[in-house]
Structure 1
Amino acid sequence: MTPIAGGGPLVPAELAWRDDGTVHSEAFGGLDFPRAGAFAESEHVFLAGNDLYARFAQDPGQDPGQEQGQAQGQKPYQCNRILEAGFGTGGNFLATALLFLELAPPQATLDFVSLEAHPVAAVDLPRLGSAQQRAAQQWLADHPRFPIDAHERFVDLQSALHAQWPDPVPGFHRRLFADGRIRLTLVWGDPAIQTPRIDGRFDAFYLDGYGPDGNPESPQEPVIQQLGRLSAPGATAAVAHAAPWVRERLTAAGFVVQQPPGFARDEAMLSARRHDGPEASGVASRRTEGPVAILGAGMAGTTVARALNRRGREVVVFEAGSAPAGGGSGNPAGLVAPVISRDWNRLSQLTATGMGFMRAELAELVDGETAAFDGVIKLARSERHVARQAGIAAELQPDPGFAQWCEAASLRGLTGVTDIDSPGWYFPTAGWLRPRPVIAHWLAAPGIETRLDRSVQRLLGAAGAWRVQTTDGRTHGPFAEVIVAAGPSSGALIEALRPWIEPCRGQVSWGRHGGERSGDPVVSRRPLMREGYALDLPSGERLFGASFLPGDTELAVREDEHEGNRHRLAAIAPSLELPLSRDGLQGRASLRATTPDRLPIVGQVADGLWVSTGHGARGLTWSAWLGEYLAAQIEQTPSPLPRDLAEGLRPQRFDERAAHKQARQAGNRCGRRPD
């Protein structure tokens, strides 16, 4: 990809295998690749260099400066947020995760954020995995700190990592392990662009020490430049190579630097701690106490509930209807797919990275019946659109593992639909899901209570003691936090958002893709999109649509919208529309919440009051990622979203834009030049 807001171009690591089974890459300088001693080196430099054996073992509920029989300030600072400059094949992460699971108390969690300019391609993972497992087995065989089954746990972690490997697209990719206790955020792309976008403070840093005199793309320099902003009180840093420039930068950032013996005789390393008094250490993240109320049991509310529940929060979900997913999330199925743009704008970033997170969240439900991720095709709409999209493909040059611009003949082969007449995008890792069973499965988790037929009338109280009043006259609470995820009704509960949330009617249609005119019906092997979409479900039904009527709030199924959906279907390929009997169609209308800029509204409204709404037609693609983002904001842990992307979703953005516009207009009327 060309240099864009998301941090391109993203060039995968070019690997060269040696005869001994190890691998070399100029992009990594030969570092962090499966070889004898690699994990022992990680342990010596990064685990021991950051004192993680002692820090992981601490109870996160204890005052880190107090321990029975020990003076204040002598106990190591707690550590549950780590930033690594250079992910490589993930060896440091796997060693860290293994140690964390062995030593940390059950309630502790770990955030591990790692930058990587040149990710390993998914096709190389199997061979790398085998070599890495052999190296880990050598490390663990006689290790006194790990139990005899530690290698099995290592293999489980590594397998989970490889199964969830992010798409080759720049940006922030979060993946979860050990039932959500470990949160890995992989930041693909140019470190100079991506490091300033990281939102969080960290207790430990993994640095290799190379930089100005080594690899010009090394992530060390951008991270060290940002240490003041990224470091938590008492943070530590371990550096594999004691370059003088690194020592100078660490000292300038307020770190006290030592030079213990390196892993090899001829190597030196650095170990540093930020100079803060023990009174500044505290628990790594603020955690409000008490249950959380979520208003709305659609996909937006459910994914927030799931993310908070994994963090140990008690969650109560209020739903106005008699069953979850009563609104826009109640359609028979929907697509999970990205949007390509030349400037890789916020919409592209949200859909591309959100798609990967949703796919990972659905792992146990991807069974071909509830969800499938075998690819989605989006056809160009017109000759002008063809030229524009082909130009974007030529300029961005996306990795074919994420997106391919294909001619019509190739798309006919990918789908089995022989009358496709337009080129378009093929997204190999996109897919579809049935939201109702997914939502029901996630809401059934222990610790989540769903209260149905509870239409919320108003919110009462304030931070830490919010109460929810329902239309039956009952008052529920108190709640430490409230998240409004009520779709088009969100504006009725948060007055400031009312002008910016518009209900939009959408009707989908479905019917059997065989009938009196069909003969041998055409069945598309992959979902297709153009003005509308076509999705052939395993049940033998063809789902297609959808209408888009802003401001229309009626929910009755309409024949004219069925007909409009048929026209959209025929525009994809006439053979998909012809077999459908006009008498056998079923449909469903629902209301989506849309916003002026077609981006969702996600973030904090007031102390303890949050919102997730305005998801429009793409909520299935990005809602899980945004639910994880809200949970991170509430718990004050490192964010899975880049800072600038989160800024573009803030609830206050429309009021601020309106005020700025009004000020400019007032200035023009007074004869002043606008700012």
Structure 2
Amino acid sequence: MPYAVDYGDGYFGSRDPRAEVQEVFIEANRLPERFARCRHFAIGETGFGTGLNLLQTLQQWRRHAPPDAFLSLLSLEAHPLSPEDLERIHGYLGLDDPDSRALREQYPPPIPGLHRIDFPGARAVLTLGLGDAAPLLAQVRGHIDAWFLDGFAPRNNPALWNTGVFRQVARLSRPGATFGTYTAAGQVRRDLEAVGFTVQRVTGHGRKRERLTGTFQGLRVAPSPPVAHELHHVAVVGAGLAGLATAHALQRRGIRATILDPDGIAGGASGNPAAVLLPNLHPRDTELNDLALAGMRRTRALIDQMEGTTRERLRLASGVAFHGISTHGQKRVARLREAGGAGTSLLLDPEGPRCADAPHVYYPQGLAVDMAALCRALARALPPVRTEVVTGVEPGAAPDGGVRLETSAGTETFDAIVLANAAGRGRSLCPEQAAISTVTGQMTRIAAPLPDWGGYVATGQGYCIPGPGTSAWIGATYRRTEGAGDARDPSPLAEDDAANLRHLAWVPGLEHAEAIQVLEHWAGERAVVRDRLPLVGHSRLDRNGRILLNLAHGSRGLLYAPLAAEWLADHLLGLIEPLEATTAARLDPARHADQSPGGSSEA
């Protein structure tokens, strides 16, 4: 049996862990009967441990929940097991079903914060928080219907069993939320009662004489969180990666999504045939690095899911090396190396392979993907995209009213609207788009005498994605226009092909432009704001919170758009959000209120 030496306690309270989970947590919270009549359900847990509680809960969820219901799981762990120990314990417990394998495959690195793990076959997600419970719970947003108050014994682990933790548990609880716990300690009972729970002593499991269960009656320590809107039908304006990922996230949660875009699927910048998934790390901004880690994990999970569903290979290359070609690039490499693994969310390898002699860092989880193909794969599982032009959005007068969408075909009302439309061509539908600039980028596909350097993406000044034989995609130019409505014709230009070749002359095989054949090219408009982060959250167009934004993904959209889609869907439904509150605030559209477009070319 697994035993925690530091806490002097075992991971399980009895010799039959499965029976313990069934009685102490699943039956105590009446989960089978509640699962059978829910649309959305959220469970919180204060000690993840081996994951047995949640894996056994997923079995009950698969058995009892309606086919369109969605389960959101939150679990906290201050001292996560190593991947090797987790696999060993799962072997001992006989856990080798699809959910336990999905957990082990997506098990996060030991970086403090929130990490999302997807169980697509079970219509469920786990938000796993690594760190001390009280400060971490304070950063969580969402609502909980049932709690598993687990962890080592209160006398051995007082940091978990105290009023600071229980105040946060109460803050996140919906009225009527229940809990089950193995402990029967008197102080735990009194602390839970003090924050608004009614508590009962019941017969304990196995040789344990008593344990506690209870129900949340209402907060006594802070105002209750706002109740999420009741949603059934949401309009998504925009059929690029941001819009399609948003519609996909909503549909997974049982919400009908109508997608509108006059340019059809990936008609704008998301039509890029060769995009690079690359973390935007900063040597001193750990919050930005954590955001990059969350984005990398979500995008890779989405690509894995789409490749598994469509049986189509979407990846063009695996691994990305950033080379310090310029003086600025060399300083960046040096600073990232100095920050070390923990400071950069374990996303970089200081060494890795190389295709040039310049100082470099390597991102083993980076990749290149056919973004247009990814969008088409997403669209196959969604309702057909409607190609009407959206001309206006009008919020409802009452909080429980819908939002009206004006299109070239007429006016419709939806429970909520997500604006994920690209900038340019007069499609400004909200005041936040005033802060957006339009940037034109061009990719070039070439045939050149490239050596075999290992198949990874080389970046520095521009990037090179090796393809079959002697072909490669190179790019991309970065031409900024004056404003969101002033985008130039994005048709490919010969001078941009020449610029791509000039920027990549440092790559072996690309030194002599005259020896390189241009096979094809692609150009698109990209919407960006000054700090190069997207606009994700509420629009000030609607005080009732039913108009949301997933905009300005022109810089690293592949990194942030799928993560932003998950956050928006969970936020709309009041489920556990995948980002800590302070991290999510980095994307808040209000940060650019009353600002004009701007920003210099990206390094």
Specify the TM-score bucket, using the shorter chain as the normaliser. Answer: 0.7 to 0.9
Partner residue, 1:641: 579
**Structure 1 residues 320-348: Cα deviation after superposition (integer angstroms, max 9, x where no partner):** 22x41121111112111212223445532
Count of residues in correspondence between the two structures: 576
Say whether the 8 Å CA contact 2:527–2:553 is kept in structure 1: yes
Distance 1:538 1:123 in 2: 37
TM-score by length of 1: 0.77
Counting only pairs closer than 5 Å after superposition, residues 532-611 of structure 1 correspond to structure 2 as: 532-538=462-468, 541-551=471-481, 553-554=487-488, 555-571=490-506, 573-578=507-512, 581-605=515-539, 606=542, 607=544, 608-611=546-549
Q: Compared with structure 1, are the counterparts of its residues 653 and 384 closer, same or farther at alpha carbon in structure 2 (3 Å cutoff)?
A: closer
- Measured after TM superposition, the shift of residue 626 of structure 1 is 0.9
Equivalent of 1:356 in 287, 297, 316 = 297
Counting only pairs closer than 5 Å after superposition, residues 216-235 of structure 1 correspond to structure 2 as: 218=160, 223-235=165-177
Equivalent of 1:477 in 402, 412, 417 = 412
Q: Compared with structure 1, are the counterparts of its residues 316 and 27 closer, same or farther at alpha carbon in structure 2 (3 Å cutoff)?
A: farther
What fraction of aligned residue pairs are identical, expressed as a percent?
30
Whichever residue aligns with residue 300 of structure 2, its letter is R
Say whether the 8 Å CA contact 2:146–2:179 is kept in structure 1: yes
Q: Does 1:457 align with 2:399?
A: no
Could you say which structure has the larger radius of gyration? 1
Distance 1:496 1:401 in 2: 35
Instruction: Identify unmatched segments of 5+ residues in structure 2.
Output: 597-603
Partner residue, 1:654: 592
- Measured after TM superposition, the shift of residue 526 of structure 1 is 1.0
Distance 2:203 2:465 in 1: 61
Partner residue, 2:601: none
**Structure 1 residues 475-509: Cα deviation after superposition (integer angstroms, max 9, x where no partner):** 15232222111121498433412321111111121
Q: Compared with structure 1, are the counterparts of its residues 276 and 534 closer, same or farther at alpha carbon in structure 2 (3 Å cutoff)?
A: same
Distance 2:589 2:532 in 1: 13
- Measured after TM superposition, the shift of residue 273 of structure 1 is 1.7
Q: Does 1:398 align with 2:342?
A: yes
- Measured after TM superposition, the shift of residue 564 of structure 1 is 2.1
Distance 1:542 1:214 in 2: 59
Bigger fraction of residues in strand: 2
Whichever residue aligns with residue 648 of structure 1, its letter is R
Say whether the 8 Å CA contact 1:241–1:270 is kept in structure 2: yes
Partner residue, 1:177: 119
Partner residue, 2:236: 294
Counting only pairs closer than 5 Å after superposition, residues 65-464 of structure 1 correspond to structure 2 as: 80-133=41-94, 155-179=97-121, 181-208=123-150, 210=152, 213-215=155-157, 218=160, 223-266=165-208, 268-275=210-217, 286-289=229-232, 291-321=233-263, 323-366=264-307, 369-371=313-315, 374-382=318-326, 385-386=329-330, 389-398=333-342, 402-407=346-351, 410-412=352-354, 417=355, 420-446=356-382, 448-452=383-387, 454-460=388-394, 462=396, 464=401
Residue range with higher mean Cα deviation, 555-564 or 215-224: 215-224
Distance 2:75 2:288 in 1: 24
Distance 2:242 2:87 in 1: 35
Say whether the 8 Å CA contact 1:116–1:219 is kept in structure 2: no
Whichever residue aligns with residue 649 of structure 1, its letter is L
**3-state DSSP class of the match of 1:340?**
coil
TM-score by length of 2: 0.86
Distance 2:392 2:592 in 1: 23
Distance 2:166 2:102 in 1: 31
Partner residue, 1:60: 38
**Structure 1 residues 528-562: Cα deviation after superposition (integer angstroms, max 9, x where no partner):** 22132111134753112111122163212223322
Partner residue, 1:65: none
Residue range with higher mean Cα deviation, 170-179 or 586-595: 170-179
Distance 1:191 1:169 in 2: 15
**Structure 1 residues 160-211: Cα deviation after superposition (integer angstroms, max 9, x where no partner):** 2223333443332223325462121112334344221100121222223647
Q: Compared with structure 1, are the counterparts of its residues 395 and 32 closer, same or farther at alpha carbon in structure 2 (3 Å cutoff)?
A: same
- Measured after TM superposition, the shift of residue 436 of structure 1 is 1.4
Say whether the 8 Å CA contact 1:600–1:615 is kept in structure 2: yes
Whichever residue aligns with residue 165 of structure 2, its letter is V
Distance 1:566 1:27 in 2: 58
Residue range with higher mean Cα deviation, 162-171 or 335-344: 162-171
Equivalent of 1:49 in 21, 28, 31 = 28
Say whether the 8 Å CA contact 1:402–1:428 is kept in structure 2: no
Distance 1:240 1:578 in 2: 71
Q: Does 1:527 align with 2:457?
A: yes
Say whether the 8 Å CA contact 1:358–1:625 is kept in structure 2: yes
Distance 1:598 1:181 in 2: 33
**3-state DSSP class of the match of 1:584?**
strand
**3-state DSSP class of the match of 2:550?**
strand
Instruction: Identify unmatched segments of 5+ residues in structure 1.
Output: 1-21, 62-78, 137-153, 659-675
